[in-house]
Amino acid sequence: MNETKKRHNRKLIFIPFLSLFYFLFVPCFIQAQDSTLNKKEPSRKKNILVGALYEYGYIFPSVKFLQGDNLEHMRIDKYQSFSARIMFQNSGREKNPWYQLYGYPYLGLGVWVSDFYDIREMGVPIAIYGFINGPFHRWKNLTFRYEIDLGMTGNWRHFNPVSNKYNIAIGAERTVFIHLGIGLAYRFSPHWEAELNMGVAHFSNGAIKVPNWGLNTFSPRMEVRYNIHGNAVLKEYEQPPFKRIMSLEITPFVAIKNVVMLDSVDVNTIPDYQGVYFPVYGLRTTFNWQISHKSKFGVGMALTYDESKDFGIAVENGKLILKRLPLLHGIRASIYPSYELVIGPFSLLFQPGIYIYRQQYHFQVPEFYQRIGFKYTLAHHVTFGFSLRAYNFQVSEFIEWGVGYQFNWMKK
């Protein structure tokens, strides 16, 4: 079977989703012919929309598997996907300061299915995700928008040293993915709008299971959305005055790290490729200045204990043997600047760091690392969140899960 025919057959996976789109949206379109004539403002508090999204994108060939070291000996650098989504927009009838500050964005849930043109080695991944889609600027019917997606992806054909030995990009059946994009949306009528969007995405399991080089993509997107009740007029309220806030946040965190030695020919890969799991413990302290309703800037220090660094891993008779090393081998200290994009009680964290203390050993990660994460603040003091620590802007080291406490001081 030639490559053209195989790719044609793979597109058959989208037939159920296209059928779903037809039965969802054709009745809506027929109904819209009469409902658009109603000029009265709806009495509801929310706009409810359903959407269908298609993307055709590019995969950055960051590892040999994607460059052609695979069963078909071809580059894996393209993919397509389809997503069905539902979203909500507060129409402005409720006073909600953060919601108005961000221009009344759409908040929603989506189901996503993708085809990477290599089903045998990558499967047909399916994701469930949440997203925020908000405006940078609105004109009459045209809006310049941004979107942030965060979800969980499953149904991967992941790495296996026997049955799928080339796929070192995806090491586990489930991964987290994040997508950042910008686009233009145009409203054709009170019920119908469309958006052209482009952005980047990253798929990774956070090194909970390695190998985990991850996937990085760039893609244009096209979405058609239907507003079930018709577009409502957005109302604005006077915002309360902002008071500058200084805070000291103390956050203990934990993580799990997977270590394998597949590069050694002495290891029996069938039972041992699962490797060894080690705990990671740490403490972050961050001093923040909140300069507006949306932004926090700060500096911080992190102390991390990585138990995998307290062991030397050797191979004897085809088995992994752990040898205890001095305690100090596992301790690392780092400093970092911090920025938080504040969205009501939620925050998106950006904290690039540099190690100022650690033991020297072979195959250690670079001194400069990157941390990106999400945080929820309860009653202005208690925080819950997670963050991904990575290096080289694409390789995950581990996922940190933390519960913290903020001490706040307000300034006029």
- Domain CATH for 299: 2.40.160
Last residue of a domain, one of 227, 259, 277: 227
Q: Calculate mean pLDDT across residues 104-118.
A: 94
* 388 and 303 fall within a common domain: yes
* 291 and 362 fall within a common domain: yes
Which residue type does 245 have?
A: I
Residue-wise burial string across 384-412, b where 16 or more C-beta atoms lie within 10 A, e elsewhere: ebbbbbbeeebbbbbbbebebebeeeeee
* 305 and 264 fall within a common domain: yes
* 279 and 182 fall within a common domain: no
- Cα(142)–Cα(16) distance, rounded to whole angstroms? 32
Please indicate, yes or no, if residue 250 is contained in any of the structural domains.
yes
* 210 and 259 fall within a common domain: no
Q: Flag whether pLDDT at 272 surpasses 70.
A: no
* 145 and 251 fall within a common domain: no
CATH number of the domain to which 143 belongs: 2.40.160.20
Please indicate, yes or no, if residue 237 is contained in any of the structural domains.
no
Tell me the pLDDT band of 364, cut-offs 50, 70 and 90: confident
* 290 and 384 fall within a common domain: yes
- Domain span holding position 169: 3-9+17-227
Structural domain total, the chain: 2
Q: Flag whether pLDDT at 12 surpasses 70.
A: no
* 221 and 255 fall within a common domain: no
> Half-sphere exposure of residue 384, counting CA atoms within 13 Å on the CB side?
4
Q: Flag whether pLDDT at 310 surpasses 70.
A: no
Of 21-35, 97-111, 162-176, 274-288, the poorest mean pLDDT is in: 21-35
Mean pLDDT of the chain: 82
Of 192-201, 203-212, 319-328, 385-394, the poorest mean pLDDT is in: 319-328
Q: Flag whether pLDDT at 29 surpasses 60.
A: no
